[in-house]
Amino acid sequence: MEKILYPSILSANFCNLEKDLKELKDNKIKKIHIDVMDGNFVPNITFGAGQISCLRKISDLYFDCHLMVDEPIRFIDDFVKSGVDSLTVHVEACKHIHRTLEYIKTKNIDCGVALNPGTSIKDIENILDLVDKILIMTVNPGFGGQKFIYSMVDKIKDLQELIYKKGLKNKQIQVDGGINLDTINEVYDIGIRDIVVGSYIFLNKDISNNISRLIDKIR
């Protein structure tokens, strides 16, 4: 079950990420979610490739990197060099989404496309075959600790249907934003097995117990 959760280190202790990463690993977490924000695509600034390179030196966890960056194609090489295992770009941030995804795929890492709450799944219909994962934002990107947008549950179901109709295999649907004890079943119960959780996991610095509580809720 721990394999399902992707803790977002956006809400971790930036003064001691090493300690938090160790605690995540001790709790059988395999993959972490790293939110890169450029202050332009979203109104917040977080990590760059340099910081991720440092984390790579101290952690062998899978790095799932969510780029909330305008024209991310400019930085793909840098992030690949930093040691990420997966890069997800926003369809709204790319002038040429097909080109951007094809470029990521040349790097032999996992490749994802993200959609803001206001973006229709129609916008990714023509590139679905290119990606390993589709990240459905269940909050507007930019900050941790926001409220889950319930209308996204129907959008996720529509996407599941679209993937099925197209006969596509091995497409992960990842959900990001507002997941906590009250909302995790909204997505788990419809079959979502890639769930990003930020603020809830790091709440009160009680990482181990918060992970257990989430796992108990979906067991």
Active site residues: 35, 176
By a kind-dependent CB cut-off of 5 to 8 A, residue 197 interacts, out of Zn ion, ligand DX5, none, with ligand DX5
Question: Closer CB to Zn ion, residue 80 or residue 137?
Answer: 137
How many residues sit in the footprint of ligand DX5 (CB under 6 A)?
21
Three-point CA angle 54, 207, 139, nearest 5°: 80
In angstroms, rounded to a whole number, what is the distance separating the alpha carbons of residues 99 and 141?
23
Question: Closer CB to Zn ion, residue 67 or residue 211?
Answer: 67
Q: Which of 21, 178, 183, 186 binds ligand DX5 (CB under 6 A)?
A: 178
Q: Does the protein bind ligand DX5 through residue 139 (CB under 6 A)?
A: yes
Residue where the block lists tokens 């002038």: 95
Q: Does the protein bind ligand DX5 through residue 112 (CB under 6 A)?
A: no
Q: Which helix (H) or strand (E) holds 11?
A: none
Candidate ranges 8-16, 48-56, 164-172, 187-195; the one touching ligand DX5 (CB under 6 A): 8-16
DSSP string, 35-101: EEEBSSSSS-B---HHHHHHHHHH--SEEEEEEE-SSGGGGHHHHHHHT-SEEEEEGGG-SSHHHHH
Candidate ranges 29-37, 96-104, 200-208, 210-218; the one touching Zn ion (CB under 5 A): 29-37
Q: Which helix (H) or strand (E) holds 51?
A: helix 49-58
Q: Does the protein bind Zn ion through residue 176 (CB under 5 A)?
A: yes
The footprint of ligand DX5 (CB under 6 A) covers 8, 10-11, 33, 35, 66, 139, 141-142, 144-146, 176-179, 196-200
